[in-house]
Structure 1
């Protein structure tokens, strides 16, 4: 009798598991009506392909085969919706943006590094923060930051020049640029001298350990599983302990910066035009109920520190990598720069750097081919309709920006090629909008610091291409990894030589 009951319980348990993780998601869920690829594994769905390929590559293939809305499956066959259709993107990212928040598992994991600032906040909290912070990112304020950016970039240029004592030198590009952009955000963001490119720095080391860690099977498994089982980050694994130590350093530095600036302001000391000073000044003049606390400001600083240097360093690294592959494009860009700036130690103004037509094309094309953030994820806060399909509450909706940026229907048959000249073709540019090209996202959740990031990117590229030639290293290969930004793995290395003009 007992054996019969045990058998009955086992059968029921297996039946529930099969229904929950196989029959329902694959055959009974409303998402089954959405076209998409068959699963590759009984329990892992399409995850193996997603892990083994570069960000958004599978989504590109599926968009080409199945259309603008596709359903594929994650671990235990969880339905995931990939969207490239402009009308759906408009609804999810603009018209009803606050009805499609970031998934809770993503927020939990990223908040630890980025802080609970404007990038992670939702709904009313995000609206309040955005309204309060917008005045700090005006063109007037960005223009005043340009001389500081130029000074740091030239300082980094001199370091490279001193290292190149031969005809050409093999240099690690991406790791160095991460240090340069952290120095820049330290100064323009917080009027703080990290001196990262000339000396060891605790904060820089913390970011290095977070973003440049060894890619082991366990680390990859944890980074995938945390999206489904968030408490995995709390396990006493070596990688988890290292991340926690690094986050404590970032939090400590961020809070220290806020308290120092608040003290300066209250004592009437001059505090400058850096972002933190502007935020503190704006915040102090708000009604009491709208003010941010020191802890809230600390969260914003964590966001600026991390996102503000990682995205720009990655974008610049990839751009140099692309230009090394296309020497004729690199030469054309250098020709434009030398004509406008014959002095290699040029100090461009905001207007001068933005007047360079071909530099603008190279920047745009670099971010099209390798966008700073290749994929974003949203979830409907309630059951919703996309096209004619019912999307249940909390179903992940992936916006594969890297895939959208390469759709031949938008960009033509050479969409996968690096062709900066395409941005000079009016027939093409007239078809481009905020849903076909979005390196900084779009709508109310677009990157608030995009003006600063763009001018920094342009100055970095202009100074380096004006002063150096970059060549590929035979046999060297690099892959894309999605973290905060599209990170290269391993770090990008190039052959660098001086331009003697």
Structure 2
């Protein structure tokens, strides 16, 4: 359209000028001169689109945090020039996770994707609904009830020991009694066999059966795969209702597994309802499902969602942590030896009956477990969207602003953890008393609760945190006490995973039984 033509058509000319001015305002004037976000420190480059595909997820965020260690927030530009805010300081994290927690929600696309794996339970509920659900569910996760489960956890860990011994005999490697073992699947089956009885009163027996459809379903659903990462990425740019209709193999897989798991959970709930009617309220005292059903606060459909959440999140957290704990012990033999010495001193034999006070008082065991959870948080990154205009670390945040929380980066932040933030240092979590004895601490020597985000903090903190840590103590004590572990290769495992942190291709390690324990 030539200038003369425009002058002969003033209305069209006005539309063109208005469009150019709006575009200039959106891309140049507003972000540089009027946006309340303009004073937030910014990264160089436009790299946040890569975060979802990088390995490990969160390494770019860690680099940005190290470049600006004192920043509370860091502004990242994407390929379209739109800002995403990285939370990097304790004040910002406190505002998002505690002070103004309900001003922020997971984006709808991500929630819809996650719901296909973990249901619309506590993790994905928001606002008043989240408050209601957490109030009902919290009593079932009281520390006293969790401590009642240590005997169950230890019993299942002993079954794991037997399975690992058989696997070692079937896959000998070199001399000296070592066998090649893939630990990821064993870890997943162990934690599934713990969460099943504890949460649902159902023993899936995945450790002792050749085929187990429940275990296989979760292993397939959470399998690290670049196509799954790409599928997750679609939820950021395309409405979930459209993504579900795309002719993709991932859609077919998730639909099949989701349908199977929902039907399984529904059948278990119906069976539980019948048992409660026949046997009364005293049934399965440690069974979380029994307590939830007895509250009368949820419909059967809502309970199915909660059960999916407990099954997926409840077993995957500890399974991932156990795998990485074994890797760290193989990589650092001195840590493994010191840990095993403490285990054997406090637990004379793997057949010893375990009580909560034995494991919770073991300083080095707790230090190794805490460092594993710090260095390899199960969920390395998550996102939030401001659902209303709010305040974060002194900045006014407009509605619709996207935030990224990166536990992987915060847990390694040198501002919190010092120059050796990337190293496993179990002693961080140990206090030495005046009489020379030691005891575990809960801070790792840091000065803020927001220095570690593995389980988040505040009202949205993971309700199963104490359960997961109890499981991990049992599992690590059982495996490291019973087996010597060595690396198969000096090559670092590639960290990947769609939702959780996994070793690409599995975690293969050399194990040898310790016959004297």
Say yes or no: TM over 0.5. Answer: yes
List structure 1 segments (4+ residues) > 4 angstroms apart after TM superposition. 7-29, 425-430
Query: In the TM superposition, what are the counterparts of 1:287-326 in structure 2 within 5 Å?
Result: 291-326=297-332
| Structure 1 residue runs without a partner (length 5+) | 285-290
Q: Distance in 2 between matches of 1:114 and 1:491?
A: 22
Q: How many residues align?
A: 488
- Residue in 1 aligned with 2:353? 347
Contact 1:468–1:496 (Cα < 8 Å) also in 2: yes
- Residue in 1 aligned with 2:438? none
1:125 pairs with 113, 125, 129, which one? 129
1:449 aligns with 2:464: yes
- Residue in 2 aligned with 1:206? 217
> What SS does the corresponding residue of 1:82 show, helix, strand or coil?
strand
1:463 aligns with 2:469: no
- TM-superposed deviation, 1:454: 0.8
Query: In the TM superposition, what are the counterparts of 1:91-490 in structure 2 within 5 Å?
Result: 91-165=95-169, 166=172, 167-197=177-207, 198-212=209-223, 214-216=225-227, 219-231=228-240, 233-234=243-244, 235-269=246-280, 271-272=283-284, 273-281=286-294, 283-284=295-296, 291-424=297-430, 429-490=444-505
1:411–1:227 Cα change, 3 Å = same
Q: Distance in 1 between matches of 2:22 and 2:216?
A: 45
> What SS does the corresponding residue of 1:371 show, helix, strand or coil?
coil
1:238–1:18 Cα change, 3 Å = farther
Contact 1:145–1:188 (Cα < 8 Å) also in 2: yes
> What SS does the corresponding residue of 1:373 show, helix, strand or coil?
coil
Q: Distance in 2 between matches of 1:57 and 1:267?
A: 54
Choose 1 or 2 for highest CA Rg.
Answer: 2
| Structure 2 residue runs without a partner (length 5+) | 7-11, 433-440
Deviations 1:82-118 (A, max 9, x none): 1121112111111221121222222111122111111
- TM-superposed deviation, 1:267: 2.5
- TM-superposed deviation, 1:445: 0.9
Q: Distance in 1 between matches of 2:230 and 2:21?
A: 26
> What SS does the corresponding residue of 1:58 show, helix, strand or coil?
helix
Contact 1:170–1:493 (Cα < 8 Å) also in 2: yes
> What SS does the corresponding residue of 1:131 show, helix, strand or coil?
helix
1:320–1:429 Cα change, 3 Å = closer
- TM-superposed deviation, 1:471: 0.7
Deviations 1:120-175 (A, max 9, x none): 11111111111111111122221222221111111111011122234101110112
- Residue in 1 aligned with 2:44? 38
- TM-superposed deviation, 1:429: 4.3
1:238–1:351 Cα change, 3 Å = same
Q: Distance in 2 between matches of 1:91 and 1:424?
A: 29
TM-score under structure 2 normalisation?
A: 0.87
> What SS does the corresponding residue of 1:176 show, helix, strand or coil?
helix
Contact 1:36–1:62 (Cα < 8 Å) also in 2: no
**RMSD of the alignment, in Å?**
2.8
- TM-superposed deviation, 1:437: 2.2
Deviations 1:20-44 (A, max 9, x none): 985578646443332112334xxxx
Query: In the TM superposition, what are the counterparts of 1:14-29 in structure 2 within 5 Å?
Result: 23=28, 27=32, 29=35
Q: Distance in 1 between matches of 2:265 and 2:422?
A: 40
1:77 aligns with 2:81: yes
Deviations 1:195-218 (A, max 9, x none): 2122312222221221115434xx
Deviations 1:323-379 (A, max 9, x none): 110001000000001111121323311111111111011111111111222223222
TM-score under structure 1 normalisation?
A: 0.90
Q: Distance in 1 between matches of 2:352 and 2:204?
A: 24
